[in-house]
């Protein structure tokens, strides 16, 4: 039977596999070769998504409004997203792999009908039961990520629960979206502003967020250069040494038989960390399930 108890450490160094986004303090670095001026009146050069937005605009994948604005915080409808995908597919170059469908709520003369059909036949988007597409529905973040994972044929290599454990709000991810989001996470498609550890899966995706997701998909496919951003989720394991100060209490459990010791006796001991260990800024340092060895 497992015994759960807080474990108080002495001063010791632990070699743990952390996440590169949480192992060191992120730095804001402007990617060389990217313009430091914005094309849109409401997207300043230091806006978190400015490079993503400007680079997609340069590729004619997204556009602004007649008044010169971009409206980065505005939501995106499923029809608008399909139109963005159609432009992006000029770079992805994904062909149809299923037959078209006549959605009951997408008339043939609807402005986005061709884009919706292409998004469906290339498996970037699907409809709802009853041949319904809901073109005017705002698209949530998890749908965008699942869409890119589906259209680009991403499959997770690692364990889905382990990958999603990075997100503090992983329990909010819809069941249908877990595999796709895990795959998108592994491929560095996910961009979380302002907090890397919060996916906010069911929130409506903003125009800026969709731009960031699509751009990262282009990077993954070798169609665009990498943008240096501290908000790109990168779960690549790296070996990092963390010093745990004396007196730190770690939630751990011991999963083997109980040990009886004399006062001065020591034995090797392996404990399992029972919860994520994070920094005050909520960056993951030691994932739950990690093993701590000592005496």
Per-residue pLDDT band at 58 (split at 50, 70, 90): very high
61 closest CA partner among 89, 35, 34:
89
Under 8 Å CB-to-CB from 6, ≥6 apart: which residues?
Answer: 249, 250, 251, 252
Half-sphere exposure for 260 (CA within 13 Å, toward CB) = 0
Any idea where the domains of the chain sit in the sequence? 3-24+237-294, 50-220
Distance in angstroms between the alpha carbons of the first and the last residue of the chain: 21
**CA proximity to 216, closest of 195, 185, 238:** 185
Lowest mean pLDDT among 231-235, 239-243, 277-281: 239-243
The residue with greater pLDDT, 16 or 190, is 190
* pLDDT confidence bin for 244, thresholds 50/70/90: low
Percent of the chain with pLDDT over 90: 66
pLDDT digits (tens, 9 = 90+) for 127-164: 999 999 999 999 999 999 999 999 999 999 999 999 99
Q: Which of 144, 210, 200 is nearest to 167 (CA)?
A: 200
Report residue 122 as tokens. Answer: 């290339």
Q: pLDDT tier at 1 (50, 70, 90 boundaries)?
A: very low
- pLDDT confidence of residue 38: 74
Let me know: does 103 contact 138? Beta carbons within 8 Å: no
Peptide bond before 159: cis, by omega within 30 degrees of 0?
no
Q: Closest by alpha carbon to 19, among 130, 122, 162?
A: 162
> How much is the average pLDDT of 190-213?
99
């Amino acid at each position: 039977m497992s015994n759960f108890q807080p474990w108080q450490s002495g001063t010791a160094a632990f070699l743990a596999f952390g996440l590169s986004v949480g192992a060191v303090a992120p730095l804001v670095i402007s990617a060389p070769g990217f313009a430091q001026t914005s094309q849109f009146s409401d997207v300043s050069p230091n806006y978190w998504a400015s490079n993503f937005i400007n680079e997609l605009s340069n590729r004619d994948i997204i556009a602004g409004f007649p008044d010169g604005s971009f409206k980065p915080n505005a939501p995106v409808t499923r029809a608008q997203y399909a139109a963005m995908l159609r432009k992006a597919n000029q770079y992805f170059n994904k062909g149809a792999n299923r037959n078209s469908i006549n959605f009951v709520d997408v008339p043939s003369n609807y402005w986005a009908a061709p884009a919706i059909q292409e998004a469906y036949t290339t498996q970037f988007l699907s409809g709802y039961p009853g041949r319904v597409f809901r073109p005017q529905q705002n698209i949530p973040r998890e749908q965008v990520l699942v869409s890119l994972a589906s259209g680009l044929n991403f499959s997770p290599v690692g364990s889905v629960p382990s990958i999603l454990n990075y997100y503090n709000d992983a329990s909010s991810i819809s069941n249908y979206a877990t595999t796709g989001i895990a795959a998108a996470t592994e491929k560095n498609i996910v961009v979380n502003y302002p907090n890397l550890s919060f996916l906010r899966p069911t929130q409506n995706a903003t125009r800026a967020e969709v731009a960031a997701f699509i751009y990262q998909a282009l990077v993954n496919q070798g169609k665009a250069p990498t943008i240096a951003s501290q908000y790109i989720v990168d779960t690549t394991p790296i070996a990092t040494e963390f010093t745990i100060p004396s007196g730190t209490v770690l939630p751990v459990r011991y999963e083997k038989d109980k040990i009886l010791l004399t006062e001065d006796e020591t034995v090797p001991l392996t404990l399992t960390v029972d919860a994520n260990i994070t920094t005050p800024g909520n960056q993951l340092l030691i994932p739950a399930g990690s093993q701590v060895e000592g005496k």
